[in-house]
Amino acid sequence: MGEKEILEKLERKGVKPTANRILVLKALLSNSTPVSLSDLEDFIVTMDKSSIFRVLTLFLEHNVVHAMEDGSGSLKYEVCMSEGRCSLSDMHIHFYCEVCHRTYCFKTIHVPVMELPENFTPHFVNYMIKGECPECKRRHSEI
């Protein structure tokens, strides 16, 4: 996604494109997997942790990103690709490797639709599968 598309995405989501917001969105888009606040802090050396956190909080409020807990003890963030609000149909399955501690997105595998009891309205679903990724499994089998 180029600079123009980043500016347009922020504006469509109702977020004023400032230098810090553009930096954080670029960093999120440059990663193929969800990233933590700590990961972003390492990646964006020109911003401090509290500034990055404020941008992430704003992005969550405006559905620019969604966050998930993968079991590592920290939230992971990824860009919401829908044009409007992040809906349940945008949610996809994630895989957390218990060996290398990486989180993988399976964007083509959507979270299964579940029927909830009457008057329960879901807003977010976190579907996390934990196990061993192919790379770690291969390394294990070589030992």
Mean of pLDDT over the chain: 88
Task: Please tell me the predicted confidence (pLDDT) of residue 44.
Answer: 96
Tell me the pairing of strands 92-97 and 65-69. Answer: unpaired
Q: Is 80 annotated as a binding residue?
A: no
pTM for the full model? 0.76
3 versus 135: the higher-pLDDT residue is 135
pLDDT in tens, 115-127: 899 999 877 777 8
Cα-atom radius of gyration of the chain, to the nearest Å?
A: 17
105 is in an annotated binding site: no
What CA–CA distance (Å, rounded) separates 87 from 124?
8
Length of the chain: 143
**Are the CB atoms for 26 and 20 separated by under 8 Å?**
no
Residue 100 marked as a ligand binder: yes
Can you list the domains of the chain with their CATH numbers?
A: 3-142 (1.10.10.10)
The DSSP letter of residue 82 is S
Tens of pLDDT, residues 59-117: 999 989 988 887 778 899 988 877 666 666 667 888 999 999 888 888 888 888 788 99
DSSP for 21-51, written as a single string: HHHHHHHHHH-SS-EEHHHHHHH-TTS-HHH
